[in-house]
Amino acid sequence: MLGTLHISHYDYLLPEDRIALYPLPERDDSRLLFYNRGDIRDQYFKDLPFLIPSGSKIVFNNSRVVPARLLFVKASGALIEVLCLEPVEPNDYVLSFNATESVVWRVVIGNRKRWKEGSLFLYNPLNQQSITSISLSAECVGKDGDIFMVRFHWRGGMTFSEVLLLCGEVPIPPYLRRRSEFVDIERYQTIYACLNGSVAAPTAGLHFTKNIITSLQSNNISLSEITLHVGAGTFLPVKTDIVAQHQMHSELFVVSLSFLEELLSHKGAIVGVGTTSVRCLESLYYLGLMCRQGLEPNFLSQWDAYSFSPVLSRKESLECLIAYLRKKQLTDFYARTQIMIVPSFTFRWTDGLITNFHQPKSTLLLLIAAFIGEDWRRCYVHALRQGYRFLSYGDSSLLWPQEERLQSY
C-alpha cells in the first residue's frame, strides 16, 4: 500500500485569499466544520462542548512556542536568519533554557550562503542597550544535511530562555509571508501552553478559551495534557511523488505515568486536539509493543507502525508501558516519535479529532485522509465553498470517522 501511495492524490487548490493571515479578534469565534461519520455541518467553535459526547476525554498538547527566530548580521551588513529547532548541548530542554552563558542548538539557517565562517552578532538596528549588553553571538559548529549546529554565547547571566524572550521573534509559519507582529506573541500560543519547546504552535488548540474549557468540564468531559514539542518539519511539504520516499521529521514528547493510568481506565471516546496529540497517542501503542519485546521504548521510527505485528490489545500495550515506567521508577515517559500517519494506518487510541485545515500535499493532510478516508476531499471542498479560513490562524473542524473506534483491541 505505501509503495503505491502518490502525494498527487492529496492535492487541492488553495487560493491565497483563503489563507488566514491574522487571527480573529476572539479565539472561539472561529467556525467549526463538524464531520460526523459522513455528515457535514457548519457550526462555530463555541458549539464544541455540545458536540462531544459526555464521558469523553480530550487530550491537549501543552507545549509552548518559544521566540526561536533570531536575526544576526555580518560585518558586510548581510542578514542571517537562525531558527532554533532543538537543543544539543545540553540536550535537555529545561537545562538548555536555564543555561546562563552558552548552548548549542540544531537550527535552520536562512541566507546560509552568505555565512561561510566566523561568529555573527545579533542584529540590533535600534541599538537597544539591553540587547547590546548581552553581546549575543552565533557560531556554526556542525552540520547534518540541511540542519546546522550553532553555538550561542552571551554575557550578563541571563538564562537562554530570557535571551530568546529579549532577542527572538515568534516563529510564525512561512506561508503567512510576513514578519511576526505584537498580536502573534499572545495569539500564536494556546491558553494552556506551559512547557517551552515548540517552534510551531499546535494550532488546533488556538481556538480554546477558558469558557470553552469550563463548558467541556461541566458536560462531564475530562481534559488531559501531553507534551510534544512541535518542530519546523511540520511545515515541510511532501516533495516526493511516492509518499513512502518522504523523510518524516521526529519530535520529542513527554507523557506522565498518571496520564497513562488515566488512559488505561478511561471508558469513553478519546479526542485528540491537533495532529500532534494524535501522533503522540498513536505512538504509545507501538512503544508498548517495544516494551513487550524487551526493547528500549525511546524512539519510534517513521514506518514502525506498519511493520510491527499488532499482537497486543491497546490495553495490553499500555500496561506494558506502565510496567516499564514503574520498573524504572519513572513518573514521566520521554520518547521521540517519527511516526508518519498515512492512509492504511490503523488508529488505536484516537476516536475523534479537532484540527484546522491543512496545506495541500502535507503530512498533516495525509493524517486527515487516514482518519476519515476519502471524505477528506468532501470536507475541504465544502469548507472552500462556504468561506472557511485555512491554515494556522484559520477555522477549525471536529472529525468523527465513519467507523466507531471505541473497542478494546
Contacts for 113 with CB less than 8 Å, ≥ 6 apart: none
* Helix runs in 266-400, H state only: 274-292, 304-307, 314-328, 363-372, 375-385
Number of domains within the chain: 2
Q: Are 38 and 79 contained in the same domain?
A: no
Is the pLDDT at 195 greater than 60, yes or no? yes
Residue type (1 letter), 260: L
Q: Are 158 and 40 contained in the same domain?
A: no
pLDDT digits (tens, 9 = 90+) for 353-403: 999 999 999 999 999 999 999 999 999 999 999 999 999 999 999 999 987
In a domain, 230, yes or no: yes
Q: Are 256 and 394 contained in the same domain?
A: yes
Q: Are 29 and 115 contained in the same domain?
A: no
Q: Which DSSP letter does residue 317 get?
A: H
Q: What angle do CA 86, 89, 95 make, to 5 degrees?
A: 80
Give yes or no for a contact between 376 and 368, defined as CB atoms under 8 angstroms apart.
yes
CA 298/CA 312 separation, integer angstroms: 19
For residues 262-288, give the mean pLDDT: 97
Q: Are 163 and 225 contained in the same domain?
A: no
pLDDT band at 406 (very low <50, low <70, confident <90, very high): very low
Structure pTM?
0.93
Burial of 294 (0-12, 13-18, 19+ CB in 10 A): exposed
Q: Are 131 and 264 contained in the same domain?
A: no
- Please report the pLDDT score of residue 371 as a whole number: 97
CA 251/CA 233 separation, integer angstroms: 9
Q: Are 262 and 331 contained in the same domain?
A: yes
Give yes or no for a contact between 167 and 12, defined as CB atoms under 8 angstroms apart.
no
**In which domain, by residue range, is 313 found?**
2-65+189-400
In a domain, 180, yes or no: no
Q: Are 302 and 153 contained in the same domain?
A: no
Is the pLDDT at 409 greater than 50, yes or no? no
Q: What CATH number is associated with residue 198? A: 3.40.1780.10
- Please report the pLDDT score of residue 378 as a whole number: 98
In a domain, 91, yes or no: yes
Nearest alpha carbon to residue 401 among 269, 234, 307, 213: 269
Q: Which of 111, 133, 168 is the last residue of a domain?
A: 168
For residues 130-143, give the mean pLDDT: 93
- Please report the pLDDT score of residue 403 as a whole number: 74
In a domain, 179, yes or no: no
Is the pLDDT at 99 greater than 70, yes or no? yes
Contacts for 164 with CB less than 8 Å, ≥ 6 apart: 66, 67, 68, 70, 84
Q: Are 152 and 249 contained in the same domain?
A: no
In a domain, 173, yes or no: no
Cα 327 off chain centre by: 30
Q: Are 146 and 40 contained in the same domain?
A: no
In a domain, 409, yes or no: no
pLDDT band at 76 (very low <50, low <70, confident <90, very high): confident
In a domain, 371, yes or no: yes
- Please report the pLDDT score of residue 306 as a whole number: 93
Q: Are 81 and 197 contained in the same domain?
A: no
Q: Which of 114, 137, 168 is the last residue of a domain?
A: 168
In a domain, 100, yes or no: yes
Q: Which of 168, 200, 235 is the last residue of a domain?
A: 168
- Please report the pLDDT score of residue 407 as a whole number: 47
Q: Are 27 and 137 contained in the same domain?
A: no
